[in-house]
Amino acid sequence: MAPRVRFAPSPTGYLHIGSARTFIFNWLYARHNNGTVILRIDDTDVDRNTDVSLQSIYDGLNWLDLGWDAHYRQSDRLDLHRASAQKILDKGLAYRDFTVRDDEADKSQGGWLFNPGMRELSPEESDRRAAAGEPFVLRYRVPRGTGRVIRFEDGVYGPQAKEADDVEDFALLRSNGMPTYHMASCADDADLAITNIIRGQDHLSNTFKHVLIFEALGVPAPDFAHLPLLIAPDGAKLSKRKHGPVVSVTTYRDAGFLAHTYVNFLCLLGWSPKDNREQMSRQELIDAFSLAGVNRANAVVNFTEADPLDPKAVWLNSQHLRAVPAAELAPLVRKVLEANGLQPNEPESAFFQTIEAARSRFATLNDFTERGRCYFSDDYPMAPDALAKLDAPQARELLRELAARIEGLAEFTEQTVEKELRDIATDKGVKAGVLINGSRAALTGQTAGPSAFAVFMAVGRERVIQRLKKV
């Protein structure tokens, strides 16, 4: 049977880097096995949900450009959750706990297992108190004193087991009638026929409770696989509160990363294709992905206080930036240029040529507007070391002569420009490097970049002549 997976973020903050990786691993698993990807917004925590957070999740997922096959919101499915909880109660596998406190969440700390006297209430007494309007929390009746061991096989961490006596009577419904995470999640997974649950390792301990809920609902439990955590260089778990922009997907988007680079990078955090490949296309990732390639060890995201970007991600983006066909890259470059008040070269063929030449030294799309500003505007900075190249003996005079010769060329190509430049150097008895270095400085304000004569093509004939004349 083709797998059905789900990604279930809660709209309580922006899309976390770890959540993005979970979505990607679910997506790859489904696509590798011709399965279905479901996006389910787990929005039953009404006190913490925000529309801003929800939009941030959609923005981040849309930027990743992977898509999904079906979409649900838990808040639209509350009747299902309550009916599922009632079904468990009717089977005698849950009970009403009238010892309602402010901390209605599961009391899993400090050895708490259940409130004395509540498990033993007769159904008649429980019904009477509920009918009288007395508030209650509906709790799962975890088997006690039976020697029951809850077991499941995890696709990453292997066999898992826990004695039922060590599991607290966790809540299914709060006193306001709202389902807890455990109840809503399992009811939806059962109803949507989810076959595989792939999520973060921090949910591993919850799975014992979920196995019990699936049993109570009379449905087979999905196959579980828990992913290693993402941690900071100091070993701390990445958190929105502590690490800020580092953990946000939009940080990389706004830094000018290609969406596929980010997908590729996140895949390498905790997974490998086992053949030392790092730069991979989308199809290559789909073909190679399996849970067997997921590591158990936590994965480190490298960053510093000064730079939130992982150096490996930056390197990987530079490789993808050079590999993408110029025609495919052009709309992305155009968008970032226009956002910064710059216009692409015309005609389109010249724009493609500029992209082809300039990207050889760039790492992000933003480099086109910063280091590559000289290709799209006459207002660009002149680096001190570039100015020194122009101040070399005879450099300015020779560059003005080169401008005149280029103006008279019948054909403007790298080859014809190089011939004129070298002819001038020979005629004047100077090294060609004086003209090569000087022209690069004049045309770009920099001393390094694409090949010297590719720069002429990237800047364009008209601008080349103007800039060399003005030195």
C-alpha 11 chain-centroid distance: 16
Residues 6+ apart with CB under 8 A from 437: 389, 392, 447
**Strand residue runs (E) in 228-285:** 230-231
Q: How far apart are CA 452 and CA 439, in angstroms?
A: 8
- Specify the 3-state DSSP secondary structure of 96: strand
DSSP state letters, 172-212 = EE-TTSPBPHHHHHHHHHHHTT--EEEEEGGGGGGHHHHHH
> For the CA atoms of 438, 443, 444, 446, what is the dihedral angle to 10 degrees?
10
User: With contact defined as beta carbons under 8 Å apart, do 183 and 84 qualify?
Assistant: yes
Residues 6+ apart with CB under 8 A from 441: 382, 386, 387, 389, 390, 447
- Specify the 3-state DSSP secondary structure of 469: helix
Peptide bond into 347 cis (omega under 30): yes
Active-site option among 87, 240, 428, 469: 240
Report the chain's terminal Cα–Cα distance, integer Å. Answer: 70
Whether 335 is catalytic is: no
What residues are annotated to the active site? 240
